[in-house]
Amino acid sequence: MSIEKVDTLVVGGGQAGVAMSEHLSKCGVPHLVLERGRIAERWRSQRWDSLVANGPAWHDRFPGMEFPRTGPDDFPSKEEVADYFVAYAKQIDAPIRCGVEVRRVQRNVGRPGFLVETSDGVIEANSVVAATGPFQVPVIPPVVPKDAGVLQIHSGAYRNPAQLPKGAVLVVGAGSSGVQIADELQRAGRRVYLSVGPHDRPPRAYRGRDFCWWLGVLGKWDLETPGPGTEHVTIAVSGSRGGETIDFRRLAAQGLTLVGMTKTYQDGVMTFAPDLAKNIARGDANLMSLLDEADAYVARNGLDLPEEPSARRIDPDPECVTNPILELDLADAGIAAIVWATGFAVDYSWLKVDAFDEKGRPRHHRGVSTEPGIYFLGLPWQSRRGSSFIWGVWHDAKHVADRISTQRKYLAYHAAAKRETVDA
């Protein structure tokens, strides 16, 4: 059996894989990127039709290329983002092989490197970079049984309102995906219930600057560890319709019904926690805290940015918050579909190496695994808060590539020294 050999194999041809390829090339590291679909496949086939990036084009990009058809302060569509990475891969001449799935990676016995089984044959690699990102396996909590008589889909499978059967919709999860999907469904004339858990809701923009800029100048993108209790808190932000601050009270005023966190289901009845008002208040506090920090930054640096008192306006709580629904009979409410915007889990079952803890999470430092020769890229908080974002993954890739290059130099010295000994 013919075995292809490569120095470094990168698994995944999305934003992480493209960034990894660029930096490996700059370091002179021979490599190959394998992608089971197309470049940036998840942007095309695992996002809803109307999705746009949650950050403006000036921010959510790599340093080496601007979005060709999107203004710097605009929000590119999902197709524009995917096209961007295709064009970027072409610009850097990235060696990406599409349509090839990596099925198994295991360490060689008694010699360096790894044996990689793919859908297109076997490859040997000295190093392997898992650049598959954090959005691998859709998570649907086992709350409502499959035979409950209601369609259940994950936000990763949602495309548009016409995809769902006629009737009301329950959207579970109030992060960026859940809020945008619920809003789209309501604007399409659907009766929508939105289950809201703990969340942060930064301003889309404040005093003439996008929140991405504020997080940057305030040092929040570079935070190295999440604060206590914030590891899994979702962020409600949107680039839809030119970008807007998420306001749950406004959503309720336009006809959407808010409920607390989804708890249980029995005999057609869904129950919700009595935490809606607390969760809304937490989001308000997060908003006000960021505005306070922004104002202090403006004053400290003497910036000429216009004041924006309207950003602090908090409307009265709607009826659904003051008198929350704790139980909901799905049939009586006419709910025909549930959209679970409940996030993703990682799947490294193909990676048969000692690089994971007891919960299956990668053991690493800034992407460098505890298993020599194995590297990770695109993980949340890999080195900082911004690691799983487009610009953040590019910077993390540079660090990982530098480490791979350094290891190659040590191995090259060893090989050269060994040859000199033999020749002598």
DSSP conformation letters of 161-229:
GGGSPSSEEEEE--SHHHHHHHHHHHHTT--EEEE--SEE---SEETTEEHHHHHHHTT-TT-SSPPTT
- Low pLDDT (below 50) residues in the chain: none
What's residue 289's pLDDT?
A: 97
Distance CA 118, CA 289 (A): 49
Provide the whole-model pTM.
0.93
Distance CA 280, CA 260 (A): 10
Residue type, 272: F
* Structure tokens given for 85: 């990475």
Distance CA 45, CA 24 (A): 28
What's residue 422's pLDDT?
A: 62
What's residue 230's pLDDT?
A: 61
Instruction: Count CB atoms within 10 A of the CB of residue 156.
Output: 20
DSSP 3-state assignment of 336? Answer: strand
Cα angle value 218/221/224 (rounded, 5°): 110
What's residue 392's pLDDT?
A: 95
Q: Are 98 and 17 in contact (CB under 8 A)?
A: no
Instruction: Count CB atoms within 10 A of the CB of residue 68.
Output: 11
Distance CA 56, CA 67 (A): 10
What's residue 376's pLDDT?
A: 98
Length reported for the chain: 424
Distance CA 134, CA 51 (A): 18
Please tell me what DSSP assigns to residue 238: B
Distance CA 362, CA 370 (A): 9
Q: How far is CA 125 from CA 4, 35, 316, 385, in A?
A: 9, 16, 60, 31
Q: How far is CA 150 from CA 140, 145, 386, 393, 400, in A?
A: 14, 9, 37, 38, 46
Q: Are 244 and 236 in contact (CB under 8 A)?
A: no
